[in-house]
Structure 1
Amino acid sequence: MHHGNAPSGLLARIRLCDQQEASAHELLRPVAGWITGHVARPHPGLGRRGAVCPFVPLAQRLGLIRFALADPPVHDEDGLAAAVAALKAHWLAMEPVSGQHTIDKTIVLVLPGAAAATVVRVHDRLKPEFVADGLMLGEFYPGHPGPGLHNPGFRPLHCDVPLLVARSMVGNDLPFLTERRYPPARRAGFVESFLRHQTGASTGTRERARAELEHARDELGHPLPE
């Protein structure tokens, strides 16, 4: 791994482990087992074929999943936000920094003892900074109510331990950036970032993104430029 231009003090806020190290670590072992035994496998409640997260099996085979712990541990919102800033810096510095497998690298920040409400606030606060750089910040916690895309009764974001996950944005992320719970200004910003970073997305997806951007700007009273 190289650390690029990220300040070393920021990177030192979290410690990274690979799959093997995580499997031997008391706090990381349950999460590593959950990813291998649940996220990387099909599930009857999913509503489609394939793994719960279709990108995880390849990311595992390539050795591109890292597990992270805040060091020292954090529970308050500002401490969590600092750990998430370090998470983003580590993702950007982690190899590969270019090429086709950049989309396969994933860092799972494990937050034992963090309150779900704090995780939600930090996620909402920092997600725009990830999306602006072509990344996604995922949130998982016990009892997460977020429904599956293909089966509203499935709860893909439930995990027994709170997590925040950094990964690359992909074309299939458009629905997660246009949720109506976001105010129109945030949706517009997210979709602008999506269109900037997802130049290789399908024509249909980019058309849907343009329509979503137009809709958000209509709500704001700012029409799309011709």
Structure 2
Amino acid sequence: MSEEVPRPAERAKRLPRAVRERQILDAAVSVFSRYGYHSASMDEISEVAGVSKPMIYTYLGSKEDLFGACIRREATRLLEAVQDGIKPDLPPDMQLWHGLRAFYRFVAEYRESWTVLHRQAMTVGGAFAAEITDMRTRAIELVAALVVSAGTRKGLGEQAEFSGAGLSAALVGAAESLADWALDHPDVSDGVLASWLMNLVWLGFNDLVEGEIWKPSESDD
């Protein structure tokens, strides 16, 4: 393999199981992010983690099991970061802006995690793609709650609920695409990225909750 992955100076001994599992998962995320699921080897993960392959199998199972554990841990960390970033005492638009900032901050600080979640897991497909779909569904529900809340404040009721999920899915997709772009543009701050997306998307949401709906000038027969 052409890229060098940092390795521990020596194999650690007698660590608590939880610490050892975290050590293995950290190493696995690093290796998977560089080489992808198929090209990454358990030998490489073993070397980076500083543990034997039998120990990896004992603690976290097969390579497939290990990759799944990485996805679940990183997805949970990402969603928790976003939820912690939202300030519930603020209006919905500011809640979303803070949530987006937390999201882009996570991507910047944990590039390997985002690479595994966004670039690697979806290309492998199968059960791994289902894990990512579940993460995206939870993110959409989080955004939809803010959209519906904004609409309810304006008295739109069912109209806000009807459009909230679909528009939130569009926003989440846009947020992910911008995060992928941001990996190659690390000089752009999380606040700027969040503001770009708010200007692109929330202004449309705001028109919707104000009851202003765009329609084509001519019907398409």
Fold shared per TM-score above 0.5:
no
TM-score of the superposition, structure 1-length normalised?
0.28
More strand, by proportion: 1
Larger radius of gyration: 2
